[in-house]
Amino acid sequence: MTATTDGSTGALPPRAAAASDTDTETPVAAGVHEAAERAVRRATDFLLAKQDAQGWWKGDLETNVTMDAEDLLLRQFLGIRDEKTTQAAALFIRGEQREDGTWGTFYGAPGELSATVEAYVALRLAGDAPDAPHMAKASAWIRAQGGIAASRVFTRIWLALFGWWKWEDLPELPPELIYFPKWFPLNIYDFGCWARQTIVPLTIVSAKRPVRPAPFPLEELHTDPAHPNPPKPLAPAVSWEGAFQRLDKALHQLRKVAPRRLRRAAMNSAARWIIERQENDGCWGGIQPPAVYSVIALHLLGYDLEHPVMREGLASLDRFAVWREDGARMIEACQSPVWDTCLATIALVDAGVPADHPQLVRAADWMLGEEIVRPGDWAVKRPQLPPGGWAFEFHNDNYPDIDDTAEVVLALRRVRHPDPERVERAIGRGVRWNLGMQSRNGAWGAFDVDNTSPFPNRLPFCDFGEVIDPPSADVTAHVVEMLAVEGLAHDPRTRRGIQWLLAEQEPDGSWFGRWGVNYVYGTGSVVPALVAAGFPGSHPAIRRAVTWLESVQNDDGGWGEDLRSYRYVKEWSGKGASTASQTAWALMALLAAGERDSKAVERGIEWLAATQRADGSWDEPYFTGTGFPWDFSINYHLYRQVFPLTALGRYVHGEPFADRSGATLAEVKGS
């Protein structure tokens, strides 16, 4: 624990107390403090230099080669694939191949079958011969894993577009789904927004079952080319898997007798739904997969490539391309400017940049301009709630998210803006919207309220990633922290969120991280939130979290966690090579808990200072973000900058908003 200037025990007040501490520090601690100050200065200069003239920050959002492979397959399907794009994509894909011939889905990952199948097909499109050593190695591995038949449904859909797989051997997804009322199981609003935007266009693709002539055969990817589509045995009828398998068989039979007029009407209704949700930049939801499937679906319904909807949709996909110096072309699954900008603003202010610094004011102006002031799909569950949130991307007015909104409010609150009334109005709308998006259990999901139906995940079609959006500890923690800073820690709604967080703590003291890897992220999010809400560092939940973080600190002083913790919890929880972002998350929790003078914090700060590069940046090849835990991983290239700067800044200057919790522990316990 750290003593404050008034002799009490608690979090450090900003700025002044930290300076007084240096007078009594031991030589070792003083040396760490000086190293931290130097690292803060270098990192601040680096981050300020990365800001766009309009006020935003955006780092590359790196995922895996399926994005690049599917981009080429889309262009092949539409007849617009060109040699320059193809070879640039192939250069990137080849560069990601592992020594064993496979492709993984994150740095250091094991080979992944579907990613390897798609990468292989993309390289065949680029002209790589199947008997080339790198291709032969890949195809041999694919066969050893069960071949195309063992790949996920989405991979086989792409192959079916060219006759490399039979449509009748894929799960059925009828377009009549669009007519299911909102109270009916498996209506489109039972799915998370990212899945909903993908499934609606895929109902059209599934109904149309298009096949373009395959440019080459793929017999080398089957275990038995004579019988490439082996039937899958039925699970027992009394099991959920068996029940949904039989439902799928019934849907295949229904396809044969469904009234054609109804099916045409359903597809047209789905098309209207898609077009209504196209963003101003031509994309859908600001993410690549729904845009790809929406373009295919509309094309199948007769929209030619020069139609404004199609033209703008295709143009938006080009904006997901990152061209590298070596000529390689990487496709981002999404872009994260709002998220990156609010996190960068928080980092810079907490690092000591004046709150009225022109670049921070410019960032605040840009964020204020990105506020979403019209209803989106979230209004299906909350029709009376006024809008007022922020999305993740440049353009995504249909799907603001709760996490971004909370962090934007925290960022705006740090900036001394020349028009404070404008800021207050925006913050007020954001707080009101976030409170209105609270789920029944007291917690918050990312995009929707009570998006917890047990049925979507059981569909045979949904064999990849998360398709629902239940509340998570990290999002709930960010909302609680924001509400506490806004003086609402005593509000009954905030206290319900706190109670949910306390109940969700793992037996070892950690919290699960849904949108970041993993228990280090969850714990790094929850502890600062609880402290902001008035919990002292001596609270048992916080002490358990501190003990866990200290127990998983690496020998080098940093923290890391491999994505395998999502699949193999006991072996990988809190374990992995040290990374800048994960070390920062652990430090943010420990600092909030009052552990500034602890050996664990000292070693973590030393690791960050020692691993910083001369230009003020950090290197981080590891993936520490998630789209879907384990299945779809993200390397946010700005995480390695904003989070270390935040942690170092709080070490040097103290905790932000230390005196603004607005509640006492007694109030929280009394809820």
Q: How far is CA 426 from CA 10, 162, 306, 429, 461, in A?
A: 31, 49, 39, 5, 41
Residue corresponding to tokens 């922290």: 481
Q: Which of 190, 403, 404, 448 is an active site residue?
A: 403
Q: How far apart are CA 366 and CA 368, in angstroms?
A: 5
CB 433, CB 389: distance < 8 Å: yes
Identify the bridge partners of residue 632 per DSSP, sorted by sequence position. 628
List of residues 6+ apart from 256 with CB closer than 8 A = none
List of residues 6+ apart from 538 with CB closer than 8 A = 1, 9
Alpha carbon 371 to its chain's center: 20
The CB-side HSE value for 635 (13 A sphere, CA atoms) comes to: 21
Q: Determine whether 448 is an active site residue.
A: no
CB atoms within 10 A of CB 484: 27
Please report, as a single letter, which amino acid is at residue 154: F
CB 178, CB 269: distance < 8 Å: yes
CB 76, CB 118: distance < 8 Å: no
List of residues 6+ apart from 226 with CB closer than 8 A = none
Q: What six digits make up the tokens of 203? A: 């109902």
Q: What six digits make up the tokens of 196? A: 């909903």
Q: How far apart are CA 423 and CA 419, in angstroms?
A: 7
> In the 8-state DSSP scheme, what is residue 154?
H
Q: Which helix (H) or strand (E) holds 61?
A: strand 61-62
Identify the bridge partners of residue 469 per DSSP, sorted by sequence position. 451
- At 278, give phi and psi (nearest 5°): -70, 135
Q: How far apart are CA 640 and CA 637, in angstroms?
A: 6
Q: How far apart are CA 415 and CA 609, in angstroms?
A: 27
Give catalytic residue positions. Answer: 403
